[in-house]
Structure 1
Amino acid sequence: MRVVIIGGGILGTAHALAAVGRGHEVVQLEREAEARGATVRNFGLVWVSGRSDAEVEISLRSRRLWEEIGGKVPAVGFRPAGSITLVRTEAELAVAVSAATGPTAAERGFELLDPERVRALNPPLRGKFLAGLHCSTDAAVESRQALPAVRAYLAATGRYTFHAGAEARTVTRGAVTDDHGRRFEADLVIVCPGAAHSGLTRELAGELPVRRVRLQMMQTAPLGEPLTTAIADGDSFRYYPGFAGAQLERLNREESQTFTAARHRMQLLCVQRLHGGLTIGDTHEYEEPFAFDVDEAPYEHLTSVVEELLGRKLPPIVRRWAGVYSQSTDPAAIVTRVRAADDVWVVTGPGGRGMTLGPAIGEDTADLLNL
């Protein structure tokens, strides 16, 4: 088949990978010179630990797919580093104990570690904490270089073409026309618009059951020592469905976040890039219109939390940024797929799970469409 994919982010590229892998010819259009949305403004985490029980299977399957991709395309920077969620209060510890003894703990690779074992696994963690919830199945990729590397791999097959700076303007039966006036014949069109819910997306699919979420993140200069796992703090329990239960309800009831953390709906996630710097975040903002600038208070809070856990000063902050991703409003929906016409599908709304679940979502769409 001739498949045209609109959107150069992780979902679009994952669908291209699935289609080419099944023998089809793919043309992918990206309106920017390079994908610049949530795909590159994230941690690069393949995050199994916090997914709901219903999402464990797809999360682990996607993680295996990332490992396969990393084996074929080393430049994506896949590494099975795992994660440690560090808890600092008794209420957070209770949530961690519940997760480590829950019905899916073995599948997720959960193990509760005392501070000594945490430091043996990840020596830079010399700060203050009561315990660490280790998840051995979590992994990471390099979000800023993964997609160009995958595209180069796809191009080498001879059945894939990427057009940058090409905005799709019309989708008619059997063809897509871009803003250069080029016409691309298509047996199937898959639109992966990310957080661009208006314009062509609305024209094709109407009002989608999705919302946009804004986040703030930052990156440091090289740490000077290897942070062997990703790390999170106990506030992250509040934002992941995999930790739901009586212990989390008690945490939310008995221990409110600091004013800054609560106001910005914050959690700490931190992962070391291959160049040695740390990517640190993040915040959650749901009410539009979003500000065009960034707020300094979250960065100060995140810096203080990381320094408390590391027991040292952070290297200088070299980058700060905001990003926006698309999230399905149905909490049970992993992604929103809408059939806009017989041969046109719109796929968006994985929330903050795009990098984690992208490869599996692409494969599932291919199965759904009998590619």
Structure 2
Amino acid sequence: MSTQPHTAIIGAGIVGLAHAWAAARAGHRVTVFERSDKARGASVRNFGMCWPIGQAPEYFAAALRSRELWQEFVRESGAYSRPTGSVHVVEHEDEASVLEEFAKAAPDLGYQVELLTRAQVEESCPGVRRGVARAGLLSRTEINVDPRQALALLPAFLGEKHGVAFHWRTAVTQVREGKLVTASGETHTFDEAFVCSGHDFETLFPEILAASPLRPCKLQMLRTVPQPKGWNLGPMLASGLSLRQYGNFSICPSLSEVKARVAWDMPELDRYGIHVMASQDRFGAIVLGDSHEYGDHIEIFDKAEIDELMLRELRKLFDFPDWTIAERWHGIYAKHYDGPEFRVQALPGVQIATGTSGSGMTMSFGLADRFFAKREATV
């Protein structure tokens, strides 16, 4: 009789698939249950950025481990990937001060970055408008993937390479110790389960999630038509507004000046949590965003005002051959205010794992790997 532990994963978004992969590498027999026919949530509604540069120092190593695992997946699956790196492009003096402060502290924290002059930004970033950049911060650790393609290929990769089984169109309605029940009334047993159901706080363990520091966060995004004649964006781009969004810059004294100026001059950006970034997909289109609305402020209807504000700020710094918008959408993820991971034991042998706070593509592989590695080390 096999002693191989059986692990159930509830949710086939990036967090669930990351845990499935980590459990399989640890020698578990893994079964994934997903209510839809494929991943349809936040995991496919993002920039496709593996973005280590944006992570706070205590999570940077896990982000780099995610990067290694993305590279492994790409090699073995043939998925699209571009190791583009990234450039934060800034136009204000206080933003340039933040970049200088971060670049000075970065080596001691493990980051490898390089300050760029305006001329260097314009030389290395075809997507930056000429004559407006004050400075830039180059990081080479970022990878661009296609989230729609990656989430479509990951299940086949896990099935073929690691024997992971999938139950699609199977909603799990109850999880008990050692047993789960689906909407059709079927019962499945397990040794361990991970509930990775994103921003669904109502179906499983609602009392735990209601008392948690998690809140839903809605973002709006856009995609241009494919750019003409094979035009290449170069590095993925972020603006000075993004300094307000990412934990790595919280160590910089000048960040408070940036936040105060934006709040005073452009309160509409704070109202909707707008910062602007750009990446290029495998078809040559530019993915643009994004915004942040939380909790009770979330509505099912998207706001044209948010799209217009994002485009206003994007056009200040960036320039693409064709700005025609082909797609508009929104996503909702679970925001955790104390880091990129919410993990709690709901029952013996049952863990809730969610709350990657918009960093799922960057952090999920590394966090799941770290969890299983730590546990194996204590056995």
Q: How far has the Cα of 1:219 moved from its partner? A: 0.8
Overall identity of the aligned pairs, in %? 30
Partner residue of 1:212?
Answer: 216
Whether the 8 Å CA contact 1:337–1:345 is kept in 2: the answer is yes
**Which aligned segments of 4 or more residues in structure 1 are displaced greater than 6 angstroms?**
none
Partner residue of 1:160?
Answer: 164
Cα shift readout 1:220-265 (whole Å, capped 9, x = no counterpart): 1012211111101100001112112311112223454524323212
Aligned residue type for 1:358: S
Partner residue of 2:253?
Answer: 246
Q: Which runs of 5+ in 1 are unaligned?
A: none
Whether the 8 Å CA contact 1:53–1:104 is kept in 2: the answer is no
| TM-score when normalising by structure 1 | 0.93
1:30 and 1:215, CA in 2 relative to 1: closer, same or farther beyond 3 A? same
Partner residue of 1:265?
Answer: 273
The residue correspondences of 1:1-371 to structure 2 (distance < 5 A) are 1-75=5-79, 77-104=80-107, 107-127=110-130, 128-157=132-161, 159-202=163-206, 207-224=211-228, 225-244=231-250, 245-255=252-262, 256-312=264-320, 314-329=322-337, 331=338, 333-370=339-376
1:247 and 1:166, CA in 2 relative to 1: closer, same or farther beyond 3 A? same
More divergent stretch after superposition (168-177 vs 35-44): 168-177
More divergent stretch after superposition (86-95 vs 151-160): 151-160
More divergent stretch after superposition (307-316 vs 164-173): 307-316
| TM-score when normalising by structure 2 | 0.91
Question: Aligned to 1:43, what secondary structure does the other structure show?
Answer: coil
1:273 and 1:257, CA in 2 relative to 1: closer, same or farther beyond 3 A? farther
Aligned residues: 368
Aligned residue type for 2:91: R
Aligned residue type for 1:301: L
Tell me how far apart the structure 2 counterparts of residues 157 and 123 of structure 1 sit (CA, whole Å): 39
Task: Give me the CA root mean square deviation.
Answer: 2.0
More divergent stretch after superposition (198-207 vs 7-16): 198-207
Q: How far has the Cα of 1:319 moved from its partner? A: 1.0
Q: How far has the Cα of 1:82 moved from its partner? A: 0.6
Q: How far has the Cα of 1:271 moved from its partner? A: 0.5
Tell me how far apart the structure 2 counterparts of residues 260 and 249 of structure 1 sit (CA, whole Å): 18
Tell me how far apart the structure 2 counterparts of residues 177 and 204 of structure 1 sit (CA, whole Å): 19
